[in-house]
Structure 1
Amino acid sequence: MISGLYEGQDGDSRLALRVDVDGPRPTGRISGDLFTVAGATTSYAGSFLVDAPAIDGTLIHGRGRFSFDTSVRDVSITINDRTGTASVAGRTYQVSFASPYFRSVLLEQDSVVGAVPFVSYRTGTLPGPSGSPARELTVGAAYAEAGIELRVSEPGVIPVDGSGSDLAWDDAELHHAMTRHFSAFGDAPAWRVWLLVAGKHVGGYRGIMFDYNDARQRQGAAVFHDAIQGTSPQSQRAQLRTYVHELGHAFNLLHSWQKNLARPPQPLGPDGGFGDLSWMNYVQNYRPGGEAGYWAAFPFQFTEPELVHLRHGFYRDVAMGANAFGTGAAEIDPFEQPVEDRSGLRLEVRANESFELGEPVVVELKLSYAGEPRTTHGHLHPDTEFTQVSITQPGGRTVLYRPMMRHCVDTSPEIRLDPGNPAMYRSAYIGHGRDGHYFQQPGDYHVRAQYIAADGSRIVSPACLVRVRFPVTRDDHQVAELMLGEEQGKLFSLLGSDSPELRSGNLALDEVISRYGGHPLAVYARLVKGLNAEREFKELTPGNELRIRPPDPKQGIEHLTHVARAATIDNITLNLVMRRLARAEARQGDLARANAVMDRMVATFEAKGVNAVVLGQIRRQAELTKAALGAEIS
């Protein structure tokens, strides 16, 4: 067998060569990365890939695709006893065998006290496909089968300093933990990734690859022990899949049904991608057969196109901290209505008539049925990526809204849309995401959404006009500047954060409140500050201790009372604000005031004239909140 990694150098040029023509699951390709050596420094120069090389004895040759311009595109390699020569882009390298793995990545895994990391699963323990041999699979072994070496550093255990009502992590806390931990790694691409094993996520998710919103993405992921724990074979099998899945995102692998959003776009597999037998698919959405069908057929491996990406993708498309997740997926064509739609579902995007420059752009997504009742899943918010939003900007460019934090959901709650529940609604802040602010200039924007239903149908909304007005007064200009900073956008996405990395953004919002407290946009600054104050905040210190800042209900009440009284934010967020305000009042020991807030919430939405079905849901929600708060403080 000659497949594996070879290394060689020609003067100031170094070659990492990957030969993949025999051995386990050969893809029939050769590829490589070129680096320029200058003194004691090495810089990346480019990559190449030969998709279908000819093999003539010890000679392997073919036409290459390059990430850089070169007049010499023919690549030839001669290998004999694991040494040989390689002619690439007009240079000749003496190469020798370096590793049976095509790439090697350092995995640093830390766990919070009480969260037990996954170790291994024996694949033959539960029924599976007959052609898949039983073997002991660790996370490292799963990647080794794909030709990727995971060098696992000594696991760390993070102690908890202080106490809190729970150890549920939210997106802001994960973002903060990542920025503190990865500051030591440096601002450069590298084959290394951090995995945090935490207790639980506030959204109940099993895992998340949360490093999506800076210049060096894909370096951090988390899995949540409370959602995946267990010693049964079923639990161990699910844990293995969650770990491999989230780390797959760090290698820049998209979900199976989203590969058409990559750059360049990749073809979708069977059933719009839901038929892929891959670590990157959702087991509950597999077709045919759902979760049972998936496990009955899954051979515990990546698909062929995913294997090609992991082994042979250009360096910057795979290495952590290099190209952004789903490189170039922000530039797309607007979603088009299908030529035929028998799904029985209708999707709408609704927004305010106009927004001030700097005002957080929030849209409401409504999914309803037309004709016969329909059953689908409840993942309508774009953070779960079953719903995508495209934004056509005033200049004509269309971009894909990409949330700062995207969530992997391993459960799909069924929602039945019928006369008793004719529609479901979600509020989504789309003003800022992984690509920064999307509404940075006045003008007319056109927003469309696409919802991928439980049966794989792609439901496209009509375009929604979002008009951003020109500032009129001097205060309008000043407040817009304070609201449109990059850190402020992250704070709106995260609904607040204590992270020192976002200090200047918090100071800008403080200035909006203190200097322009009467301006209409000050309510959004109070929203972020109030929600952040009302909750506890977990800080992963540089010494890897978990410190918990308790809630500040007094400050939360001060800010959220202003927001609730103004009632100018969207209805779904206003509902959240009033429930959090009630919680803050209860934490202050005043259950009567907490209950009064819930009564006021019902009265507010009655006055707004929301439809009877939604109003009934709000009334039930208010009563459930009262009961929960009463039980919490009794």
Structure 2
Amino acid sequence: MSIMSDPTTVDGSVRPVTRNDFEEPTQQQAKQGGTVEAVLVERDAKDLAQLRTRVERLEARTVLEQAGPAVGTTVSGRYSSGGVGTLLELRVDVDGSRPMMRISGDFFQVSGATTNHVGSFVVDALTATSTETSVKLTGRGRFSFPVLSPHVEVKIPRSTTATPHPGQATVRFSTDGGEPSASYLCTFVSPHFRSVKLEQDSVAGAVPFVSYNTGSLPQPPTSPARVLTVPASYAEAGIEVQIAGTPDVIPTDTAGSDSRWNDAELHNAMVNHFSLWRDVPQWQVWQLVATSYVDDGVRGIMFDAGGTFQRQGCAVFYDAIKGDDAANQRAQLRTYVHELGHAFNLLHSWQKNFADPPQPLGPNGGLGDLSWMNYVQNYQPLPPAPGGPAAYWAAFPFQFTDAELVHLRHGFYRDVIMGGNPFGVGAAEIDVGLFDDPVVDNSGLTLELRSGGTFRFGEPVVVELKLATTNLRGCTTHGRLHPKDGLVTIAIRTPSGETRTYRPSLLRCADQEIRTVLDADRPAIYESAYIGYGKDGFYFQQPGRYQLRAEYSAADGSRVLSQVHQLTVRAPRTDADEDVAELLSGDEQGTLLYLRGSPAETLRTGNEALDQVLDRYPDHPLAVYPRFVKGFGASRDFKDLTAGRELRTRRANTDESIAQLSKVVESSVGEGGVDNITLNQVMRRLSRVEADAGDTRRATEVMDEMVGIFRRKNLSDHVMRDIEAQANRTKEENTRR
């Protein structure tokens, strides 16, 4: 659709938006500018991205043109009613820095010494009346719960120069018929719309970020040079970030030589070390400044995305962004603000259509957003404008987009508060069929989703993703195919007809610029993903047929869809099948499968359940999965950040790891066991563990066996070349261990 003009009359007054302001491309337009499909694609990319901004400008213009001259200080900020019973926290956002022309609020019930959240509302379209002495704001609210009085009126006396803050806000609610309902008198509390406490700790050797002067390097001429800290960056968005307590520096002298952190260690560290942590919603978040992640391409991670109360912990990795020069200080600021943004339930720029409620994507599928939440190297405005890091930094004003500001300032309480609704909640509303096939696809890429097709009840569901090129002259993109990197989304339709989106328990921010070339020599790349458990718990809990479809966001913004893949979960056939399935169920077991093992005390019950499978049903086909978890978990050192703020390392148990992983290999040589990609990972890990145990000869034999096993599976030539290269690299690494 195309927006034909600004909705103003000849005399400049505002008129309502009508259906005539939008039109579809005609055949004549198609003749002038190409095919109808081409016109649609071009306009969808340009005009739809501008629709929200244009409408918001219209709302702002309505307020400003109806308002009188501004006198005294601004009225925007946070207000609160007092007393007992129902309490209202009100947010007014109509003047000051980047006003979003909204009012919103949260209701709380005060009973004795307890206060409970009741619900939230926001008025998205305001009518404003302003005089020298007061401001009146009215509109119909959108509520998080059913109401009979949706109309909201707020009156605020303007302050004088003698009083720095506005007067008390009178808030009245009324029915559609104008009948008055509840009313509140709210006192000004803060110019910030929300306030959160940040507890930040670091491990020894990781230097926390302090500040960056945005004028140190070229930036947009419209963006003023200023010194930004993390709290200052959020203050510009209207959010107060308070540093809670004195940051701890965690000694690493007992942690051993391994400075890399894995997912299991990060989750364990948050539960044990975050002194403000409670398994409840609260405006508090923990950030760990760690040394490095197990994946070199990851600068940060929002790792607290499992269990009931999520988004309370994130980490940044110093080794990936360290440096005292201006460019590295700038990168550190962006990474810190980005990861905290996830804790506020902000998604990546290209994922906002999976938010709750779904938000329109910005230019070029979101990759054209100038936002903290975009990836620098993925920045790509509409062609022919240049993209990439240089273009991003030249245009980035160090701020969130308008849509992100609306979420931060006015999102419903449980959608924003840490420990509230799960990360990205609402993505489950996306239907497999709503992954629309593109009208035009010149991406040169195809995506295939596949699996074994049939799974036992309780069996961990693992799928394989294949990204291939249709242009054998060469196609360049990123190679991030795992859903936890946020660039692949998988929709799942259950046997009962419900459609959910798989949401991984951990969201890695793999924002390092790494490109993969697909051509005649290497026409495809592959990834294996366990999607049986994630933020919403288990996804395949009922027998029957499931439909899956995946979407890949390419480096240039193209969205490549897989075919609809079908798989079946069989009902248990024996008592043993039912017992094993039950022992593999539970959040702790799902977390262990996702983390590929962890000795954390918080997961003790899950580990005991997996032990029962091996003790009672060692020959059951699904026993391969507890062995996989146990073998991987025992293969690595585990940094345990204890509640006593001591960093200890539990050493790998090489004997246990070799025993368990060897049995996984035995079970997977034929048709059973784990999938091929997982088997590849198991055998390379087994080879490394053999080398760590001092048996370099056996380590080499394992790699030779791996090549032989896959050669007998009659895999394609380019896949075998990759496997042989992996085997040779592992052998070389083993000689240096």
Paired residue for 1:84, among 157, 168, 176? 168
- Are 2:165 and 1:65 aligned? no
**Alpha-carbon contact 1:53-1:60 (below 8 Å) kept:** yes
Match of 1:172 among 259, 264, 267: 264
Stretch moving more, 264-273 or 159-168: 159-168
| Deviations, residues 337-396 of structure 1 (Å, cap 9, x unaligned) | 223322221111111131111111111100111144311111111111111111111111
Superposed displacement of residue 183, structure 1:
7.7
**Gap runs ≥5 in structure 1:** none
User: Could you tell me which residue of structure 2 aligns to residue 39 of structure 1?
Assistant: 112
Partner of 2:94: 21
Aligned residue for 2:709? 604
- Equivalent positions of 1:229-240 (< 5 A) are 229-240=322-333
Task: Detail structure 1 runs of 4+ shifted over 4 Å in the superposition.
Answer: none
Distance 1:172 1:235 in 2: 28
The yes-or-no answer on 1:364 pairing with 2:464 is yes
Structure 1: distance between partners of 2:169 and 2:490: 49
The aligned counterpart of 1:156 is: 248
Aligned pairs for 1:109-508 (under 5 A) are: 109-153=200-244, 154-160=246-252, 162-182=254-274, 185-204=277-296, 205-288=298-381, 289-334=387-432, 335-372=435-472, 373-508=474-609
Q: Which runs of 5+ in 2 are unaligned?
A: 1-73, 160-165, 174-180, 382-386
Aligned to 1:43, the other structure's residue is in SS state strand
Q: Which moved more, 1:609-618 or 1:197-206?
A: 609-618
Judge conservation of contact 2:79–2:169 (CA < 8 Å) in 1: no
Higher relative contact order (CA 8 A, sep 6+): 1
Note the alpha carbon deviations across 1:43-75, whole angstroms, 9 max, x for none: 112222122322222122222222222222222
- Looking at structure 2, the residues matched to 2 and 202 of structure 1 have their Cα atoms a distance apart, in angstroms, of 48
Could you tell which deviates more after superposition, 370-379 or 234-243?
Answer: 370-379
Contact 2:358 2:426 in 1 (8 A): no
Measure, in 2, the Cα distance between the counterparts of 1:566 and 1:188.
42
Provide the rounded CA distance (Å) in 2 between the counterparts of 1:7 and 1:263.
Answer: 26
Map of 1:584 onto structure 2 = 689
Mapped partners of 1:185, 1:196: distance in 2: 13
- C-alpha contact (below 8 Å) 1:10/1:92 kept by paired residues: no
Structure 1 length-normalised TM: 0.97
Assess if the C-alpha contact under 8 Å between 2:276 and 2:284 holds in 1.
no
Letter in 2 for 1:531: F
Contact 2:349-2:362 within 8 A present in 1 as well: yes
Compare 71-80 and 489-498 and name the one that shifted more: 71-80
Query: Greater CA radius of gyration, 1 or 2?
Result: 2
For 1:94 and 1:180, locate their aligned partners in 2 and report how far apart those are by CA, in whole Å.
42
- Is contact 2:490-2:501 (8 Å) kept? yes
Q: C-alpha deviations, 1:466-507, integer Å up to 9, x for none?
A: 111222222112111111222111111110011122111111
CA distance in 1, matches of 2:388, 2:661: 43
Q: Deviation at 1:186?
A: 2.7
Q: Which amino acid aligns with 2:480?
A: H
C-alpha distance in structure 2 between counterparts of 1:331 and 1:540, whole Å: 38
**Residues 155 and 171 of structure 2 are in contact (CA less than 8 Å); yes or no, is this contact kept in structure 1?**
no
Q: What is the CA distance between 1:628 and its match in structure 2?
A: 1.1
1:221-265 CA distance string (max 9 Å, x none): 100001111111000000000000000011111111111111211
Q: Residue 79 of structure 1: SS of its match in structure 2?
A: strand
CA contact (8 A) 2:380 2:557 kept: no
- TM score, norm. by length of structure 2: 0.84
CA shift, 1:449, in A, is 0.8
Q: Amino acid of the residue matched to residue 200 of structure 1?
A: S
Correspondence for 1:48: 121
| SS of aligned partner of 1:439 | coil
Q: Which residue identity is paired with 1:27?
A: M
CA distance in 2, matches of 1:152, 1:325: 23
Q: CA deviation at 1:592?
A: 0.7
Once the 2 structures are TM-superposed, how far is the Cα of residue 140 of structure 1 from its aligned partner? 0.4
Cα separation, 2, equivalents of 1:63 and 1:448: 39
C-alpha contact (below 8 Å) 1:378/1:412 kept by paired residues: no
Cα RMSD (Å): 1.4
1:555 CA drift (Å): 0.6
What's the offset of the Cα at 1:184? 5.5
CA gap of 1:442–1:285, structure 2 versus 1, over 3 A, is same
Is the CA contact (8 Å cut-off) linking 1:108 and 1:193 kept in structure 2? yes
2:196 is aligned to 105
CA separation in 1, counterparts of 2:150 and 2:286? 37
Q: Deviations over 1:162-205 (max 9, x none)?
A: 23231111111111112223586333211111001001110121
State the alpha-carbon separation in 1 of the partners of residues 664 and 84 from structure 2.
65
More moved, 292-301 vs 558-567: 558-567
Mapped to 1, the partners of 2:108 and 2:145 lie a distance apart of 12
**Pairing 1:1-16 to 2, within 5 Å after superposition:** 1-9=74-82, 11-16=84-89
The Cα shift of 1:290 comes to 1.1
